[in-house]
Amino acid sequence: MSYTAMVMLPTAALVSLEQVEAKLRSALNSTVAGQSGAIEVFREETQLTLFINDWSLYIWADASPTVLEETQSIVELFGCDRTDQAELATYGFRFDISCDADPDLEYFDDYVRVLKAMKEFPQAVVFDPEAESFI
């Protein structure tokens, strides 16, 4: 099993990968896969990679013009019960999250902690493309 998510933000959110790294280090510090200090982070221009033991989670920052169109489509198809549809349809920035396979769900809790930390950014909304639902 592998996990994927999209963390949607307003176009003007200006959340950097450096901020994401700091938030995730704080959220995962001593709780990753039950081992203190097991997390390593590698940051590039548009990507952050978390290494937890032999498992990796990848976060890409995306502000390309297609993000707004994709967000509008997602809101139209899957957000009909959301009260913030109109606002969410204007979001033109997101972080795409994916990871290595986790067949034994050993890192599921770490993945959930990442999503919870990402949701702490103001106005952040998380969408699971596999489940086709907002989290």
Indicate which CATH number applies to the domain containing 43.
3.30.310
Structural domain containing residue 127: 4-134
Residue 36 pLDDT greater than 50, yes or no: no
Residue 38 pLDDT greater than 80, yes or no: no
Number of domains in the chain: 1
The residue among 97, 107, 104, 122 whose CA lies nearest residue 12 is 122
Predicted pLDDT at 55? 93
Predicted pLDDT at 97? 99
Distance, in Å, from the CA atom of 26 to the CA atom of 24, rounded to the nearest integer, reads 5
- Over range 8-35, report the average pLDDT: 83
Residue 106 in tokens: 């050993």
Q: What is the pLDDT of residues 72-115, one digit of tens each?
A: 999 999 999 999 999 999 999 999 999 999 999 999 999 999 99
Predicted pLDDT at 103? 95
- Percent pLDDT > 70 in the chain is 93
Q: Considering the entire predicted model, what is its pTM? A: 0.91
